[in-house]
Every structure is written in C-alpha cells, then in structure tokens.
Amino acid sequence: KQFIAAASAAGYDMRSVAKEQGVDPEVKLNREQRWKLEKEGKFPKRIKIGSTAVAYRLSEIQAWIRGEW
C-alpha cells in the first residue's frame, strides 16, 4: 500500500511502474547485476517515487527484455 501511495504521490500511474523486486523474475538478473548494468548504462535507471521507494518504468523494462533499450 505504501508503494502505491508513493507512486501516486510522485505522479506515476501504477500501471506504468514496477517495484524493484517485481522486476527480478522478468529480467532474470539479481539486484547487484541490475545495479552494475544500470551504472554502465546498459539497463534502465531506477526512478525515485518516494523518500525511500524506487521503481522502474515498465515501458523501459519491457523494451530492455525485447532488446530494444
């Protein structure tokens, strides 16, 4: 519930963002692998949606999975 409230308060439609842990099964990379690729510019950057909450833009994750990002 806190994630939904934070995303809404940050102006994001819940259908357009994915929680960090929700991305794991989709991309088959663990958090450390994603962070490394993110630093290298090879994986979408996380967005801050609250004081401690982060998420990914779902469209960017889907594009990355398709090899279009």
pLDDT at 32 > cutoff 60: yes
Place of tokens 């833009």: 57
Q: How confident is the model at residue 36 (pLDDT cuts 50, 70, 90)?
A: very high
What pLDDT was estimated at residue 58?
87
pTM confidence score: 0.73
For residue 68, give the nearest of 59, 21, 38 by alpha carbon.
Answer: 59
Mean pLDDT of 35-52: 91
For residue 49, give the nearest of 39, 58, 40 by alpha carbon.
Answer: 58
pLDDT digits (tens, 9 = 90+) for 58-67: 889 889 989 9
Rounded distance between C-alpha atoms, residue 54 and residue 15, angstroms: 15
